Amino acid sequence: MIAFLNRLKLRKKLYLLFIVGVLFPMVLTDAVIFMNVRSAARAEMLNMQKNIADTVDYTLQNRLSYPMAVAENIYKSTVLESFLNESYASGAKYFSAYYKLHSDLIFGGTMGIEDAKIYLFADNATILNGSGFYRMDKAWGTEWYQLLKKSGKDRLLLFYYGTIEGSEKIPRRKILMMIRKDGNSGWSRDKLYMIELGYAAFEKDLLSLGLDSEVYVCDGNKILLSNREDYRIQDPYVVEKIKGKDIYSRPIHLYGRDLTIYVVPRSMMLLRYVRKNGTVVIALVVLNLLLPVIMLRLIEKSVTVRVEGLQKSFENPDSQELEVIERVEGNDEISDLIRSYNRMAARMNGLIQDVYKARLREQEINLSRQNAELLALQSQINPHFLFNTLESIRMHSLIRNETETAEMVGRLAVMERTFVNWGEDLIPVQKEMDFVEAYLQLQKYRFEDRLNYSFSVDADCRRFAIPKLTIVTFVENACVHGVEKKATPGWIFVRVYKEEGWLQIEVEDSGTGMEEDELKEIQDRVENVTIDEMKDKKHVGMMNAFLRVSLLTKGRARFEMESEKGLGTTVRISFPLGMM
């Protein structure tokens, strides 16, 4: 974890601290509070739904209690029973008895039941249909009578959609309370007492309650009553699945009917809690979320801005001086760190100036020294070549006494011009090879058929610049120490080519060669040659040439020698092409 934190930026560490130390515990705490509030809200909602169901049940029972009492009184009335059992000889006799029944105030109108009608049916052929009294055959073919008969009950509360009297043309929703008397039970005739209750009165009762929930009174999946506007305006009873969350149901028993009350809340209790306690909720959100975020931003700005300013002071590694932070704010640890940095920067800038100036002076001295050493090497090689060349001319003149000496002197002049012109130490390979050819032609006057040579220079290598006298020095060494000491004819081969990013220069002779110990000694001396070692005159040409090559290529050039006694020697110098 420590390694992981060390890889994070300071800003990310602060946000990680906020998430782990503040936001996550806060969310967890709020989740617990939310669950408690939700449980409390659900408990309160359930209690509210129970109260609503109790209220609806009481309202319906209260609405039906008086009609039930009236129905029972009608059922038990001996006067009404006698009126329905009587056989009337004529219509006049029937109407006389009918008016007497009303005058005795035993049975009149709806008997005080609001928005209701009373129907009495008897199996009496002498009764005239109308004014609430009907013969039994008037009911037998009706749908509502068939429903009563199908139920097998003597008392039934029926929610019915249709017509009751033959004069009705438009079906309506009705609530029917029916009591059936069977003539076989001791009565002389079959009878049916029915009270038609007004459906609108029941709807009015539900609406007057002002419930904050949707209420459905259902018979199975059929909605009989509801306080929803879109259900009240429909004519038939609705068959629909009750939808919603947190539905509460309660069975009720109404006058022989088993029904169910469903209570569906119109809004979530939690939202009601939020609306009810909106100020407290907003205050909690501000305290738990907004204030920590604002504080985190302020701390992040206080810390990271100053740290980033300190970091920018180190972003320019090529600058000769450290940047001093001009404005330092605060008195905390970061401010102390910036002040310490400023003191260090001021001190370092002073030291840098001193060291930088001293280094410049040292570089100037070293450069002058190297230039002097190079000039010394250049001046040292001139007498060496001049001496050998003049000695060749002298020996040739003494031995043969030929007039060709003038031509040899001409060749010598070409070489001397090259020796003397040290204004530019680097020359193209082609120019160096011209000088090598002049030198070998001059030597051929001396050795005649004993000396033969061959050149192989790749065309794309002729333009590369190399230190002057690099090749001719090793060619001269092959003549003096190889071919000259051999009695039989000898060959010198010069090859220049490119190989794997290197310019290769090879000088091979078929001279006397050398022993392995001598070869190793020369190899070590060439690779580690210094100005001081140049005081030793042995192999001075080879040491001089490779030292100049090493100085000009900053030590990247390579030197290899191969030799076998009696067979010859091969010298190979490798230049990195990237520096040519």
Using CB atoms within 10 Å of the CB of residue 227, give its burial: 0 to 12 exposed, 13 to 18 middle, 19+ buried: buried
| pLDDT (average), residues 316-336 | 70
The encoded tokens of residue 245 equal 């969350």
**pLDDT greater at residue 312 or residue 269:** 312
For the segment 98-134, what is each residue's pLDDT rounded down to a tens digit? Answer: 888 876 644 545 566 767 888 889 988 899 888 888 9
Question: What one-letter code names the amino acid at 551?
Answer: L
Yes or no: say if 479 and 493 are a contact pair by the CB < 8 Å rule.
no
Q: Where would I find the beta strands (DSSP E) of 236-330?
A: 238-239, 248-254, 257-265
* pLDDT at residue 19 greater than cutoff 70: yes
Yes or no: say if 425 and 548 are a contact pair by the CB < 8 Å rule.
yes
Yes or no: say if 217 and 225 are a contact pair by the CB < 8 Å rule.
yes
Judged by DSSP in three states, 158 sits in strand
* pLDDT at residue 417 greater than cutoff 90: no
Predicted confidence at residue 441, as pLDDT, reads 86
For the segment 358-377, what is each residue's pLDDT rounded down to a tens digit? Answer: 676 666 646 645 654 555 45
Please state the domain extents for the chain. 8-276, 277-312, 368-579
Yes or no: say if 260 and 240 are a contact pair by the CB < 8 Å rule.
no
**pLDDT greater at residue 208 or residue 323:** 208
Percent of the chain with pLDDT over 70: 76
Predicted confidence at residue 187, as pLDDT, reads 46
For the segment 213-224, what is each residue's pLDDT rounded down to a tens digit? Answer: 889 999 888 888
Q: How far apart are CA 117 and CA 178, in angstroms?
A: 12
Using CB atoms within 10 Å of the CB of residue 121, give its burial: 0 to 12 exposed, 13 to 18 middle, 19+ buried: buried
| pLDDT (average), residues 482-498 | 89
Q: Does the 368-579 domain belong in CATH 3.40.50.620?
A: no
Strands lying side by side in the sheet with 155-162 = 133-135, 116-122, 191-198, 172-181, 155-162
For the segment 535-544, what is each residue's pLDDT rounded down to a tens digit? Answer: 555 666 777 7
Q: How far apart are CA 114 and CA 202, in angstroms?
A: 11
For the segment 50-81, what is each residue's pLDDT rounded down to a tens digit? Answer: 999 999 999 988 888 888 888 888 888 888 88
For the segment 384-416, what is each residue's pLDDT rounded down to a tens digit? Answer: 566 566 566 666 666 666 656 656 655 665 566
Q: How far apart are CA 407 and CA 395, in angstroms?
A: 15
* pLDDT at residue 572 greater than cutoff 60: yes
For the segment 341-361, what is each residue's pLDDT rounded down to a tens digit? Answer: 778 877 877 777 777 666 766
